[in-house]
Structure 1
Amino acid sequence: MSIRQGLLALLSQQPMYGAQLRSEFEDRTAGTWPLNVGQVYTTLGRLQRDGLVEPEGDADDEGRITYRLTTHGRTAVGEWFASSVSPDHEPRDELTIKVALGVSLPDVDVASVVQTQRADSMRHLQVLTRAKRNAVDKDDLARELVLERSIFATEAQVRWLDHMESRIRRSRRRTTPTAVEETDR
């Protein structure tokens, strides 16, 4: 998720200061991507440098500066919403890296890695499902949609773990000598 585009989208609704942006971002994304307020202000500085936002007057009594979109910033928000996001635009996935390395190292019990991950993913799926029910009860569509995305991703991960476990078993059967072959030696 691009923090840059997210902050611009929020500013398209109304001018805000950094802590407001952080709070709105976390509320609207169901807390899925917590932000550090320093990260928000660093991003605001870059957005200002790039001519996408500008301060709206001087700092208030508490030293907060409210930012608003420039014309260029409004255009950038429109372009962002009009464009697609590449399915390949995913961050590095630690689980994929762990399994890929694990199957290539002799002392790693990859089956155990898969089982541990599956159990944790199933627990996480239960937590997400309860949170989604809560969002439905509160008629919070934004939170519900973010949680559904997480549910679908976790379900896909469990399917991938099942598939991977099967592939690893088949691969090991091909590389493990049978008892007949061993007695012929």
Structure 2
Amino acid sequence: MSIRHSLLALLQDQPMYGYQLRSEFEERTGSTWPLNIGQVYTTLDRLERDGLAANDGDDGEGHVMYRITEAGQAEVSKWFSAPVIASNPPRNELAIKLSLALTLDGLDIEAILQAQRTASMLNLQSYTRQRRAAAKAEAEQDHDVAWILVLDSLIFTAEAEIRWLDHCEGWLKKHQSSTARRKAAPTTAGSQDKNSQEVSR
């Protein structure tokens, strides 16, 4: 997630200080990805260093205000016009967890899959309920519309995760069956050879 570009985009509305930016970001995204205030101020310092935002002085209440510069506006325009390309896939804790579990002894992979499927289903049900409530409210505020789109994204992600877990379970059963057949094959062949030798005698 690009905090840098998100903060710049918010500064297009009006100059703001750190806590305002955090509140605006969380309100517009339904608090789905909460920001650490330290991260906000660190990002603002970097934006100022890079000439994309400028310190606009004190607002009279002890808050340091920041405004977007022309270079910052150009950067935001470039960000919105370019597609998001995941050249380096983000770390997926679930995929990492299952990959490691498969390489370690004494772990019940089926139990791990089932526990995750239950949690993913609960998430899906929660997002679906929130989506239904948001749609029923017939909200016309831009922030509410944005929240509905965020919920749709979370629903699709949860559905994809459940489908992937189903795929993992099916693939593992097939793999285990194939492995069991391969292990049994030499034993069967050995028995047939032994029987053949006894008959020839």
State TM-score, norm by structure 2.
0.85
Letter in 2 for 1:43: T
Letter in 1 for 2:67: R
The equivalent residue for 2:197 is none
Instruction: Describe the superposition over 1:112-161 as per-residue Cα deviations: whole angstroms up to 9, x where unpaired.
Output: 11100000000011111111122223421100000100100000000000
The equivalent residue for 1:30 is 30
Deviates more, 1:59-68 or 1:159-168: 59-68
Q: Distance in 2 between matches of 1:89 and 1:147?
A: 25
Give 5+ residue unaligned stretches, structure 2.
195-201
Letter in 2 for 1:51: G
The alpha-carbon deviation at position 41 of structure 1 amounts to 0.7
Letter in 2 for 1:167: W
Deviates more, 1:83-92 or 1:63-72: 83-92
The equivalent residue for 1:13 is 13
Aligned residue pairs: how many? 184
Letter in 2 for 1:92: R
Q: Distance in 1 between matches of 2:87 and 2:177?
A: 32
Letter in 1 for 2:148: E
Q: Distance in 1 between matches of 2:88 and 2:148?
A: 23
Q: Does the residue aligned with 1:166 lie in a helix, a strand or coil? A: helix
Instruction: Describe the superposition over 1:21-68 as per-residue Cα deviations: whole angstroms up to 9, x where unpaired.
Output: 000100111111100111111100000000000022x21333111111
Deviates more, 1:27-36 or 1:80-89: 80-89
Q: Is 1:145 aligned to residue 155 of structure 2?
A: no
Letter in 1 for 2:116: Q
State TM-score, norm by structure 1.
0.92
Q: Is 1:172 aligned to residue 176 of structure 2?
A: yes
Give 5+ residue unaligned stretches, structure 1.
none
Matched ranges for 1:80-159 at <5 A: 80-138=79-137, 139=139, 140-159=144-163
Q: Is 1:62 aligned to residue 81 of structure 2?
A: no
Question: Taking structure 1 as reference, are residues 89 and 30 closer, same or farther at Cα in structure 2, changes over 3 Å only?
Answer: farther
Q: Does the residue aligned with 1:25 lie in a helix, a strand or coil? A: helix
The equivalent residue for 1:72 is 71
Q: Distance in 2 between matches of 1:73 and 1:105?
A: 49
The alpha-carbon deviation at position 179 of structure 1 amounts to 9.7
Root mean square deviation of aligned Cα: 1.9
Q: Distance in 1 between matches of 2:133 and 2:22?
A: 23
Q: Does the residue aligned with 2:64 lie in a helix, a strand or coil? A: coil
